[in-house]
């Protein structure tokens, strides 16, 4: 038991035991406080659960300061997002003031998705076609080429069925 004197009220009060952080709270950069006292503005509150104990007592909570991270040009240009250093990143992590502003912030640059070789545009879709890479895939029907049908290098619109034209209709009449 520790005795403390409050100089503002000149009264003596006892602190039976204080809240102490355990490893999960320390790893987050937090400090433990009594639940009743709260953490104050600008803090995340982590309460102990059956599986994770943040503080030494159930009457305590782990107070973790909210980290304000701001992306700088180097991070933004690479479609990155500034996150707190302890958060998970599914891509590359870049550190430094050139990437992010804020304490303990890093730039999380997402993995580049595999490029779609050929993108079907409305003109091809309306003809019930699909865009394919002309060097990698084959088409059993007619292929239409042109920027109005597909987006991508070496792409063509493979029609699912042969379109009926007025020329073929007239041939059947003769």
% of the chain surpassing 70 pLDDT: 79
Checking if the pLDDT of 170 tops 50, the result is: no
Please tell me the predicted confidence (pLDDT) of residue 80. 87
Please tell me the predicted confidence (pLDDT) of residue 173. 45
Give the pLDDT confidence of 107-139 residue by residue, as tens digits. Answer: 988 886 555 688 889 999 888 889 998 888 888
Specify whether the CB–CB gap between 150 and 156 falls below 8 A: yes
Checking if the pLDDT of 25 tops 80, the result is: yes
55 falls in which pLDDT band (50, 70, 90)?
Answer: very high
Residue 123: name the closest of 155, 93, 90 by CA.
155
Please tell me the predicted confidence (pLDDT) of residue 148. 94
* Residue 14 vs residue 73, higher pLDDT: 73
Checking if the pLDDT of 102 tops 90, the result is: no
State which H helix or E strand residue 126 sits in.
helix 122-126
Structure tokens at 162: 């042969």
Please, what is the average pLDDT of the chain?
Answer: 80
CA distance 44 to 86: 14
């Amino acid at each position: 038991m520790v005795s403390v004197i409050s100089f503002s009220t000149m009264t003596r009060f006892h602190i039976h035991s204080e809240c102490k952080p355990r490893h999960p709270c320390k790893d987050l950069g937090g400090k433990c406080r009594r639940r009743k006292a709260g953490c104050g503005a600008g803090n995340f509150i982590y309460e102990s659960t059956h599986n994770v104990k943040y503080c030494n007592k159930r009457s305590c909570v782990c107070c973790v300061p909210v980290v304000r991270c701001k992306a700088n040009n180097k991070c933004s240009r690479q479609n990155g997002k500034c996150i707190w250093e302890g958060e998970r990143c599914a891509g590359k992590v870049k550190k430094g003031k050139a990437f992010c502003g804020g304490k303990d912030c890093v730039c999380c640059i997402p993995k580049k998705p595999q490029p779609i070789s050929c993108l079907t545009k409305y003109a091809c879709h309306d003809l019930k076609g699909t865009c394919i890479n002309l060097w990698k895939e084959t088409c059993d029907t007619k292929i239409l080429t042109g920027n109005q049908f597909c987006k991508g290098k070496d792409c063509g619109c493979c029609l699912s069925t042969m379109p009926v034209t007025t020329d073929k209709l007239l041939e059947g009449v003769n």
